[in-house]
């Protein structure tokens, strides 16, 4: 399976719980035990809206919140306040100020020994970040982090896309009203199985052009621009099996 297929499974999730398990599987496969995704939307300057999907140890999260560590966490500042776009690999240089150094050493006690943080900024001005952490602090751990940096950045983008649909976008509710024809559903089901338009045509005994026609109509109805999104959305909305 290539990264694209792996990550598109995230777009097929129906609930944040499903998404959470899917992310856990993917990140563990990449060698990380823990992840945390958070998004901040500045709907008001004093009280920004926040949503967090945490795969971090619960007691560390509680401690972090209680201590107000977001104010001194350099990865939070980098991704959310400064809205930088490149990732930060955790090291003592990043956590150089005294409070930040303490934060880092405490995190280690909770088995968050090494890791990296990735930023994604959405179309409505929201700032999001994904942190991936490992309990290993060896040189090899760092090599592994650097080696999968591209994959992890892409993962951050896909998680944000999924959160936009599941949490941030009220439009998602309106999509439930989409009604697809039987032929459109059939074509989408086979497309979800990875069949090409030509193959679907053979299975459904219609021409390849007609398959494309049905997929185009279905995409238009759901307001998405490409085939992969059409499949992902139809599956996640339960549109193709009804």
Candidates 17-25, 68-76, 120-128, 168-176: pick the segment binding other proteins (CB under 8 A): 120-128
Check binding of 174 to other proteins (CB under 8 A): no
If binding is defined by CB under 8 A, does position 87 make contact with other proteins?
yes
Decide whether 69 or 87 has the Cβ nearer to other proteins. Answer: 87
| Residue in 24, 156, 133, 124 with CA at minimum distance from that of residue 73 | 133
Closest-CA residue to 145 (of 8, 59, 34):
34
Q: Which of 83, 69, 68, 71 has the alpha carbon at shortest distance from 128? A: 83
Place of tokens 């060896």: 138
Per CB under 8 A, the segment of 14-22, 121-129, 168-176, 234-242 that binds other proteins is: 121-129
- 195 is a site residue for other proteins (CB under 8 A): no
For residue 170, give the DSSP letter: T
146 belongs to the binding site for other proteins (CB under 8 A): yes
Helical axes 227-236 vs 208-222, angle rounded to 10°: 60
CB contact set of 73 (below 8 Å; sequence gap of 6+): 100, 103
Question: Is 70 within 8 Å of 76 (Cβ atoms)?
Answer: yes
Torsion, Cα 74 79 85 87, to 10 degrees, reads 50
Q: Which stretch binds other proteins (CB under 8 A): 13-21, 64-72, 91-99, 217-225?
A: 217-225
Distance CA 112, CA 66 (A): 18
- Our finding on whether 171 is near other proteins (CB under 8 A) is no
Q: What is the C-alpha separation between 26 and 160, in angstroms, rounded?
A: 15
Nearer to other proteins, 67 or 204 (CB): 204
SS3 call for 83? coil
∠ CA(110), CA(37), CA(16), 5° rounding?
A: 115
In the list 42, 137, 148, 202, the residue contacting other proteins (rule: CB under 8 A) is 148
Residues 151, 195, 199, 202: which binds other proteins (CB under 8 A)? 151
User: CA-to-CA distance for 143 and 108, rounded, in angstroms?
Assistant: 18
Residue with smaller CB distance to other proteins, 100 or 152: 152
Q: Which one of the spans 39-47, 59-67, 104-112, 212-220 is the region binding other proteins (CB under 8 A)?
A: 212-220
Least spacing, CB of residue 128 vs other proteins, in Å = 9
Q: Does 215 bind other proteins (CB under 8 A)?
A: yes
Instruction: Output 215 or 239, the one with its CB closest to other proteins.
Output: 215
Output the smallest distance, CB 85 to other proteins, in A.
4
Instruction: Give the interface segment with other proteins, choosing from 18-26, 34-42, 83-91, 176-184 (CB under 8 A).
Output: 83-91
Residues of the shown chain interacting with other proteins in the complex, contacts defined by CB under 8 A: 2-4, 7, 82-87, 120-123, 146-155, 157-158, 160-161, 164, 212, 215-217, 219-220, 225-228, 230
């Amino acid at each position: 399976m290539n990264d694209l297929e792996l990550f598109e499974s995230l777009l097929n999730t129906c609930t944040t719980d499903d998404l959470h398990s899917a992310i856990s599987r993917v990140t563990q496969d990449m060698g990380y035990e823990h992840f945390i995704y958070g998004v901040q939307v500045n709907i008001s300057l004093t009280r920004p809206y926040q949503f967090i999907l945490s795969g971090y140890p619960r007691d560390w999260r509680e401690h972090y919140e209680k201590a107000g560590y977001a104010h001194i966490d350099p990865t939070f500042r980098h991704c959310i306040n400064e809205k930088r776009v490149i990732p930060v690999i955790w090291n003592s240089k990043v956590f150089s100020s005294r409070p930040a150094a303490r934060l880092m050493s405490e995190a280690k006690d909770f088995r968050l020994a090494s890791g990296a943080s990735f930023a994604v900024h959405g179309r409505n001005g929201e700032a999001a970040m994904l942190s991936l952490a490992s309990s290993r602090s060896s040189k090899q751990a760092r090599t592994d982090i650097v080696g999968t940096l591209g994959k992890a950045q892409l993962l951050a983008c896909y998680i944000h896309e999924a959160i936009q649909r599941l949490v941030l976008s009220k439009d998602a509710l309106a999509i439930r009203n989409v009604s697809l024809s039987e032929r459109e559903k059939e074509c989408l089901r086979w497309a979800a199985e990875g069949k090409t338009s030509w193959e679907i045509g053979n299975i459904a005994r219609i021409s390849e052009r007609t398959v494309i026609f049905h997929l185009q109509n279905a995409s238009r109805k759901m307001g998405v621009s490409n085939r992969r999104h059409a499949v992902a959305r139809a599956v996640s909305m339960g549109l193709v099996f009804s």
